[in-house]
Chain A
Amino acid sequence: MRILVVEDDPVLANGLKIGLGLAGATVDLAETCADARAALETTAYDAVVLDVMLPDGSGLSVLKAMRSGKDRTPVLLLTALDEVSDRIAGLDTGADDYLGKPFDLDELAARVRAVARRGTGRAEPCLSAGGIVLDPSQLAATVGGTPVNLSRREFAVLSALMERPGTIRSKSEIEDRLYGWQEEVESNAIEVHIHNLRAKVGRDAIETVRGLGYRMRPSA
């Protein structure tokens, strides 16, 4: 899950990056509206956590621009203004959820998961395909009912594939979901993760489509 956090307060931004990271998300930080717009143009995010009061303007203007540009990325507004009227204004501008500061980190993570999930058109909290069940809230996986220990990255790769079973995900697509801007990606990192995953969830679960990428093998 790749998240864009638009927040200008360095301590809070740092906390969100690490906190959402603990919840299994890859977080990019933007401090201003301009940074946020640039990030949204270049990267596809699963969700955006948007502060309303930013140094160069209102986060709502970013949201408005997104929605008028047909960008359907789920947006959670995070703001100090949590009067009812502010919340209504935020939601009516096109936000998917609203959380007032200060907030509980676990609640924020859950809400981000929820808006991201609905962004993919899915209602059920767990991902399942071919006997594999992923619970994003616990970062827990079971294969045929047996718990399997996955690393954070492995979990992310597997959930990227399982979100749309049958669809081929390219290597760079999976990389984008896994690594933030500043992170160095080794050229064979995805292959390594896939290799390890196959060892844990079963050799046949993930299919390699030569030259295109990977997909979950449709269950027989």
Chain B
Amino acid sequence: MTSLRKRLFLILVAATGAIWLSAVVWIYVGAKAEVEQVLDTRLQEAARMVSSLVGSGEVAASRAIAAVPGLSPEPASYERQLSCQVWSLDGRLVARSSGAPDARLAENASGFSDRVVEGETWRVYAVENVATGVRVMVGDRLGLRERLVADLIKGLIAPAFLIVPLLGLLIWVSLGRGLRPLNAMADQLQVRAADDMSPIAVGNVPVEVMPLARSLNALFAKVELARRHERDVTAFAAHELRTPLAGLKTQAQIAIAATDPAMKEGALRQILVSVDRTTRLVRQLLAIAKLDAHGVAPDGEQVIVGDLLDEIIAALKPSNTAIQVDVEPALHSFRVRANREILSLALRNLHENALQHMPGGGTVSWRLSLDGQGVIVEDEGPGIPDDELPLVTQRFFRGRHKTVAGTGLGLAIVAIAINRLSARFSLQNRDGRRGVSATISFEEARRAKEDALAGP
């Protein structure tokens, strides 16, 4: 686990260190140039001074050297850095300062030069005085120059070693304080109960943490919704599974207790109704479990929807002869590429649903949708109250217009199956008349497949 505090600390310390370091480099470069210029100027001045003193003829060369500050043999750390040699133009050493080497400091007649003499690098300025016939050379050791700059840098770095730990401590503590709102939020989350999905307070959360808090709250809301949905489904399931059992048991007890043969028979008939319904419920539960296990349906074959409908309708011949079923001929030339089993499950449940809701008879009509991309089934049942429309595809939901045989799973199965087929399902009450109109639209599924075929 990475610690935000550690991370920020490292970044801040590294950044501060880097800035400090570049400042040091900058100062070093600048100071070095400055020092060189100043010292070069001093060399030049010293050389000219000695030259002019020698040139005036009043002072001997060695005295002239002693008269120039920096060349005199007084013990001082930087003072003695200058060395001076006075050569006659014919190459004879006329005089030299006390610290100066014996070897000639510069070869060139005049101007600046760098030269290694007796193992040391010298910076030398030479000036030629033709009138007095001498060449004055003043030089200093580069090592000394570097020491000067190094001392300057040391003076800069030394306090840094003292300040950096202090700065680090300061950064560490400040980070702790700065991250306090985050810690407070973490504490708040840590102490809450596992099933507490109430949103966390965002009142005094800093702007930077706000997105996190908002996302957390959104997540809580989503989890809570999912959990409530699950709880609802569990409650509905318990109701739908236990109620028929309670009915069965009650009726069985009546059948045992009743002395009246008609009452006994009535109870047994009720048991049959209940067993039929429970059988259907079990079948649908298995279907839904299978659909849940599937994921998106594997691509099936070309299915002629009209032919599949004919099979389903034949298998579900309504016992109620007052119900008429119409299938539009156009459906017999409507082909979709779909998993046959899943499509059949959806169509059968829709058909069953339509039949169940028309105990008084009527017409179930299957037809091609106007855009030619889907199937529409319409019944003449009581319709679905508008407030229940979004709920009827939920598992175990049974609305006000439920039927004896209904399990509350039919439309849920339809919705899941159609979703697995990547098709779209919509349900509405018919315009201006009784009944429900259900549409399965394959448009998107088909387009997706065309895109897939057209693609690389």
- B239 and A15 form a contact (CB under 8 A): no
CB neighbours (8 Å) of B249 from chain A are 102-105
A168-211, CB < 8 A from B: none
Q: Are B400 and A55 in contact (CB under 8 A)?
A: yes
- Interface positions of A from 6 to 26, Cβ below 8 Å from B: 8-12, 14-16, 18-19, 22
Please report A residues at the B interface, Cβ cutoff 8 Å.
Answer: 8-12, 14-16, 18-19, 22, 32, 51, 53, 55-56, 78-81, 100-106
Identify which of B236, B245, B270, B399 contacts A14 (C-beta below 8 A). B270
- Complex interface: chain A residues within 8 A of B238 (CB): 80-81
The answer on a CB contact under 8 Å between A105 and B235 is no
Query: Which of A15, A79, A106 has a CB less than 8 Å from the CB of B270?
Result: A15
Assess the B235–A11 pair: CB atoms within 8 A: no
- With A8-B402, A10-B404 known as contacts, the answer to whether A81 contacts B235 (CB < 8 A) is yes
B225 to chain A, nearest CB (A): 19
Minimum CB–CB distance for A107 against chain B, Å: 10
CB of A106 within 8 A of CB of B253, answer yes
Residue-wise, chain B 133-145 has the 8 Å CB interface mask toward A (1 for contact) of: 0000000000000
- Mark contacts of B223-255 with chain A using CB atoms, 8 A cut-off: 1 yes-contact digit, 0 otherwise: 000000000000110111111111111110110
What is the total number of residues of chain B having a CB less than 8 Å from a CB of chain A?
32
Q: Measured between C-beta atoms, what is the minimum distance from B79 to chain A in Å?
A: 96
Closest to B257 in A: A22
Given A18-B266, A80-B238, A103-B246: 7 more A-B contacts, CB < 8 Å: A11-B273, A12-B246, A19-B257, A55-B399, A55-B402, A80-B241, A102-B249
Whether the pair B270, A11 counts as a contact (CB closer than 8 A) is yes
In the complex with contacts A55-B399, A55-B402, A81-B238, A12-B254 CB distance below 8 A: no
**Contacting pair B248 A102 (CB below 8 A):** yes
Is B267 an interface residue when CB atoms closer than 8 A count as contact? yes
Rounded to whole angstroms, the CA-CA distance of A85 and B244 in the bound complex is 23
- Give 16 A-B contacts (CB < 8 Å), ordered by A residue: A8-B402, A11-B247, A11-B251, A12-B244, A12-B250, A15-B250, A15-B270, A19-B250, A32-B400, A53-B235, A55-B398, A80-B238, A80-B240, A81-B239, A101-B242, A101-B246
B239: chain A residues at CB < 8 Å are: 53, 79-81, 101
A19 to B258 alpha-carbon distance, docked (Å): 9
Contacts of A51 in B (CB 8 A): 243
Q: Are A56 and B400 also in contact (CB < 8 A) when A18-B254, A22-B258 are?
A: yes
**A51 vs B244: C-alpha distance when bound (angstroms):** 13
Q: Which 4 A-B pairs have the closest CB atoms?
A: A15-B250, A12-B247, A11-B247, A102-B246
B244 contact from A11, A53, A79, A106, Cβ within 8 A: A11
Assess whether B274 is interfacial by the CB under 8 Å rule: yes
A-contact 0/1 string along B252-271, CB 8 Å cutoff: 01100110000100110010
A18 x B242 contact (CB < 8 A): no
Cα–Cα distance between A80 and B238 once the two chains are bound (Å): 6
Closest Cβ of chain A to B334, distance in Å, is: 36
Chain A contacts of B398 at CB under 8 A?
Answer: 8, 55
A15, B236: Cβ atoms under 8 Å? no
**A80 and B251 contact, Cβ closer than 8 Å, known pairs A15-B270, A18-B263, A18-B267:** no
When distances are taken between beta carbons in the complex, the residues of chain A under 8 Å from B247 are 9, 11-12, 14-15
Contact A11 B242 (CB under 8 A): no
Q: Given A10-B404, A11-B270, check contact A22 B254 (CB 8 Å).
A: yes
**B residues less than 8 Å from A79 (CB atoms):** 239
**Residues on A with beta carbons closer than 8 Å to the beta carbon of B253:** 15, 19, 104-106
- Chain A residue with minimal CB distance to B266? A18
Given A8-B402, A55-B399, decide whether A105 and B243 contact each other with a Cβ distance below 8 A.
no
